[in-house]
């Protein structure tokens, strides 16, 4: 468990639970990233409040999958990548983890690109120069700060992003009765399937499953004490649920803002820069600037977690935990981040880059989910904490739905 190992017996109190909050927040950043912004704004501007239910459903599925990934980390003391290395045949493991690293690269490319788009909005910086700035900041924070400091920075960023959207929905008129109904009522307006699938694809992401199984070990206490493991599992679920609800609220707020501004004006928006430019005359300069600042924070913070995921996956190939002082972790972070930046130079347009990123994640996601379910269902790996029959039914149902929709998204992109 590397730098996350601890053996003390905690005070299992409400205050201690609040101290436990953190790993889930780093995962939350992954599904309030620039890709989500594009999907949610397209959903709200094109269909108003009608597709809010998809954010709710996606978040419920995400809670189950992320809890299961964290479950693996708590019980085994190993991340998903390490567990795959130890329990899957080498040739198959290498294929799985190589595609996972590629997925982390694809994700990082979209996150860096999103931050660069925000810098272009704010300062008119060319996208490639802005991308270099985002890359530099993300690498600086990963290589010079401890995990605890990064966690606090991410929590701060998520809070600021949330407050930005609270401000924006407070200055527009929201039809709250429609919101409450559409949050839970499935609806499939004509022509909406591509956006529905993109909302799902932007929420459930492969690198987050690897990341959660690793960073949950920052709260590791004592693997030999059954009572401690049970308490950890409960605390982890609370952290995951709390953090995912915050992510659900922010994603929903994006749709609310887009519905109350662009949809009311009967203007469909599919580009982040277009959205920011159109907000200025509708809501004023402050709302426009806040939109860009929040996007910048989302781009930087999600770039950090994408790099951490890449480092964790790459280190796991060598049966090692994430440790930024270790050469394999450093190599994984650099491979992920620098490769992502280089790819941006070959992207014709920012929007095209986000689409390509989503397409690759659609291909890789089923590989990660099925690998995770195989490992967490194995008594050899999990012992008595292996998935129950009910767990398996629920996980496989979610896996098949998520995979089918992501494959459909991939097909529809051509």
* pLDDT band per the 50, 70, 90 thresholds, residue 7: very low
Instruction: Give the model's pLDDT for residue 224.
Output: 64
Going by C-alpha positions, the residue among 33, 51, 3 that lies closest to residue 357 is 33
Query: pLDDT at position 13, please?
Result: 58
In a domain, 1, yes or no: no
Considering the domain boundaries, does residue 158 fall inside one?
A: yes
What is the rounded average pLDDT of the residues 24-45?
89
CA distance 183 to 335: 39
Q: Specify burial of residue 329 (Cβ count, 10 A radius: 0-12, 13-18, 19+).
A: buried
Least confident window among 172-176, 187-191, 401-405: 401-405
Q: Which of 3-12, 166-175, 238-247, 303-312 has the least mean pLDDT?
A: 3-12
To the nearest whole number, what is the mean pLDDT of the chain? 88
Percent residues over pLDDT 70 in the chain: 92
Q: How confident is the model at residue 3 (pLDDT cuts 50, 70, 90)?
A: very low
Q: Report pLDDT for 350.
A: 74
402 pLDDT more than 50: yes
- Model confidence over 321-364: pLDDT tens digits? 999 999 999 999 999 999 999 999 988 777 667 767 877 887 89
Give per-residue pLDDT as tens, 211-261: 999 999 876 555 666 777 777 888 899 999 999 999 999 999 999 999 999
The predicted model gives 58-84 an average pLDDT of 95
Confidence at residue 296, expressed as pLDDT on a 0 to 100 scale? 96
Cα 177–chain centre separation: 29
Cα distances from 13 to residues 130, 131, 148, 230, 405, in angstroms, run 45, 43, 21, 14, 41
What is the number of residues in the chain?
Answer: 414
Establish how many alpha carbons lie within 13 A of residue 69's alpha carbon, considering only the half-sphere containing its beta carbon. Answer: 32
pLDDT of residue 212: 95
Distance CA 222, CA 232 (A): 10
Residue 8 resides in a domain: no
For residue 56, the model assigns a pLDDT of 96
Q: What is the pLDDT of residue 79?
A: 95
Q: How confident is the model at residue 8 (pLDDT cuts 50, 70, 90)?
A: very low
**Predicted local distance difference test score (pLDDT) of residue 271:** 77
Q: Which two tokens stand for residue 327?
A: 């050469």
Examine the pLDDT at 369 and tell me if it is beyond 90: yes
Q: What is the CATH number of the domain that holds 361?
A: 1.20.1740.10
Task: Classify residue 303 as exposed, middle or buried by CB count within 10 Å of its CB (0-12, 13-18, 19+).
Answer: buried
Q: What is the mean pLDDT of residues 26-37?
A: 88
* Contact (Cβ atoms closer than 8 angstroms) between residue 168 and residue 283: yes
Domain membership of residue 6 (yes or no) is no
Q: What b/e string do you get for 55-90 counting C-beta neighbours within 10 Å, with b at 16 or more?
A: bbbbbebbbbbbbbbbbbbbbbbbbbbbbbbebbee
Residue 300 to residue 115: CA distance in whole angstroms: 6
pLDDT above 90 (res 99): yes
Query: 138-148 b/e with 16+ CB inside 10 Å = b?
Result: bbebbeeeebe
Q: Considering the domain boundaries, does residue 20 fall inside one?
A: no
Inside any domain, residue 12: no
Host domain of residue 40:
25-413
First to last CA, the chain: 42
Q: Is the pLDDT of residue 414 over 80?
A: no
Domain count of the chain?
Answer: 1
Average pLDDT of span 260-265: 92
Tell me, yes or no, whether 3 lies in a domain.
no
For residue 257, the Cα-to-chain-centroid distance in whole angstroms is: 21
Task: Provide φ and ψ at 176, rounded to 5°.
Answer: -65, -30
Task: Specify the pTM.
Answer: 0.90
Query: Exposed, middle or buried: residue 292 (CB in 10 Å: 0-12, 13-18, 19+)?
Result: buried
What's residue 219's pLDDT?
64
pLDDT at 220: 58
Residues 6+ apart with CB under 8 A from 4: 147, 215, 217, 218, 219, 220, 321, 322
Which pLDDT does position 254 carry in this prediction? 94
Contact 176, 256 (CB under 8 A): no
Q: pLDDT tens for residues 297-329? A: 999 999 999 999 999 999 999 999 999 999 999
**1 falls in which pLDDT band (50, 70, 90)?**
very low
Whether the pLDDT of residue 67 is over 80: the answer is yes
Structure tokens at 240: 């995951």
Tokens of 174: 């929201």
2 by Cβ neighbours in 10 Å (0-12 / 13-18 / 19+) ranks as middle
Residue 2 lies in a domain: no
pLDDT on residue 28:
93
DSSP string, 195-241: HHHHHHHHHS-HHHHHHHHHHGGGG---TT-HHHHHHHHHHHHHHHH
Angle at 160 between CA 155 and CA 165, to 5 degrees: 130
Give me the pLDDT at residue 323, please.
93
Query: What pLDDT was estimated at residue 6?
Result: 45
For residue 253, the surrounding DSSP H or E stretch is helix 226-258
């Amino acid at each position: 468990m590397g730098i996350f190992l601890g053996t003390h017996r905690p005070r299992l109190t409400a205050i201690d639970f609040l101290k436990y909050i953190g790993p889930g927040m780093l995962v939350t950043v992954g599904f309030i990233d620039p890709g989500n912004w594009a999907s949610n704004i397209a959903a709200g501007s094109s269909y108003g409040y009608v597709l809010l239910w998809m954010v709710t459903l996606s978040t419920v599925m995400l809670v189950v999958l992320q809890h299961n990934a964290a479950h693996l980390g708590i019980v085994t003391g190993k991340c998903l990548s390490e567990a795959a290395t130890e329990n899957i045949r080498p040739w198959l493991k290498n294929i799985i983890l190589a595609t996972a690293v590629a997925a982390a690269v694809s994700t990082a490319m979209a996150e860096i690109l999103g931050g660069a788009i925000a810098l272009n909005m704010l300062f008119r910086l060319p996208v490639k120069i802005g991308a270099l700035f985002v890359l530099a900041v993300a690498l600086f924070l990963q290589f010079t700060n401890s995990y605890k400091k990064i966690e606090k920075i991410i929590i701060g960023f998520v809070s600021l992003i949330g407050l930005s959207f609270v401000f924006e929905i407070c200055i527009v008129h929201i039809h709250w009765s429609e919101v409450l109904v559409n949050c839970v009522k499935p609806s499939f307006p004509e022509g909406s399937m591509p956006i529905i699938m993109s909302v799902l694809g932007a929420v459930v992401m492969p690198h987050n499953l690897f990341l959660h199984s690793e960073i949950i070990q920052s709260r590791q206490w004592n693997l030999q004490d059954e009572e401690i493991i049970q308490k950890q599992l409960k605390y982890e679920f609370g952290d995951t649920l709390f953090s995912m609800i915050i992510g659900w609220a922010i994603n929903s707020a994006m749709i609310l803002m887009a519905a109350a501004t662009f949809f009311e004006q009967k203007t469909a928006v599919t580009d982040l820069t277009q959205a920011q430019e159109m907000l200025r005359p509708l809501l004023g300069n402050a709302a426009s600037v806040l939109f860009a600042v929040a996007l910048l924070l989302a781009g930087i913070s999600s770039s950090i977690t994408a790099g951490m995921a890449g480092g964790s996956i790459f280190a796991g190939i060598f049966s090692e935990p994430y440790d930024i002082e270790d050469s394999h972790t450093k190599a994984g972070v650099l491979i992920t981040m620098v490769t992502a930046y280089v790819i941006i130079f070959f992207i014709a347009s920012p929007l095209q880059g986000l689409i390509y990123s989503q397409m690759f994640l659609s291909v890789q996601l089923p590989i990660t989910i099925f690998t995770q379910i195989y490992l967490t269902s194995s008594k050899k790996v999990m012992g008595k904490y292996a998935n129950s029959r009910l767990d398996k039914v629920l996980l496989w149902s979610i896996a098949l739905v998520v995979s089918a929709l992501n494959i459909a998204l991939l097909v529809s992109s051509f």
